[in-house]
Amino acid sequence: ILAVLPPHATRGSIRPEKMPLRSRCRSSQKATESVKNYLCPLGPSLQPSARLATGPQQEQRTFYEFRTYSIRPDQNSVFLKLTNEKIHLRTAHSQLIGYWTVEYGGLNKVFHIWQYDSYSQRAAVRAALAQDPSWISEYISKALPLLTAQDNEVSYLVPWSRLKSPPQQGGVFELATFRMRPGGPAVWGGAFQAAMSAHDAPGYGKLLGAFHSEFGLLNRVHALWWFESADHRAECRHKAHTDARVVAAVRNSVAHLDSQRNQLMFPCPFSPMK
């Protein structure tokens, strides 16, 4: 103990064996307190904690893989036709949540979400697909030449969000992607939730799910919205800008924001979510 005390803690001190027993006990207690104060001089409230998480811990094993494919501009319709005809070969292996074409915010792109119960399940699915002759010959061999790029990201639903279905079919979807400043949900989680709820609760859009990235670009959160139409989305956005509660919530959230990207998407005919 004495070896880690500051120099003044032992200067001019009496040898412990020469002290009365009561004094020795008090001296030992003071020495222990000195060590605590030296190692954590700002007080017991800032003592190191065993819980080092920067936000609510992920309790669900289920994760969602976000995939974005960029298609050769002259082959867009060919790719969509092929996928429409052969997607059943892929959905036989794992669950498809939704499949969309990007209308605004990126041309000649498709965005799709796949659900997995664990990483071992995903690994087994990928291994099975690699050994599926129909999938390889009827789809992959024909689809890959039509693509210019692929991107994927693993994400989880944020703890307060649940995946929901649209209230009706035939609408449009918006994927709003926010790149938050480093620090994690402990820093910006509350403000982000408040901003989403300020839009969702009054009906300025239907929030279908809020996700945070695990693999891919980090500190990224996604909000998947549903609207009756593109014009309905524009009308809701205009109304939200006049709502003081929304303005205040968004102002608090953007203090933690680095960048934002929005995509308006149309569901494909074979998309489960549409």
pLDDT digits (tens, 9 = 90+) for 163-196: 999 999 999 999 999 999 998 888 999 999 999 9
The Cα 103–Cα 54 span in angstroms is: 36
**Residue ranges per structural domain of the chain:** 63-267
The Cα 188–Cα 180 span in angstroms is: 8
Task: Please name which of 271, 274, 272 lies closest in space to residue 83, comparing C-alpha atoms.
Answer: 271
At residue 31's C-alpha, the angle toward residues 30 and 35, to 5°, is 115
CB-based contacts of 31, cutoff 8 Å, min separation 6: 1, 2, 5, 9
Q: Is 178 exposed, middle or buried (0-12, 13-18, 19+ CB in 10 A)?
A: buried
- pTM equals 0.79
Tokens 């992959």 — which residue?
140
Residue 186: what pLDDT? 85
Residues of the chain with pLDDT under 50: 1-18, 21-25, 27-28, 30-54
Q: What is the CATH number of domain 63-267?
A: 3.30.70.100
Residue 56: what pLDDT? 52
Rg of the chain taking only CA atoms, in angstroms: 28
Residue 7: what pLDDT? 42
Residue 58: what pLDDT? 57
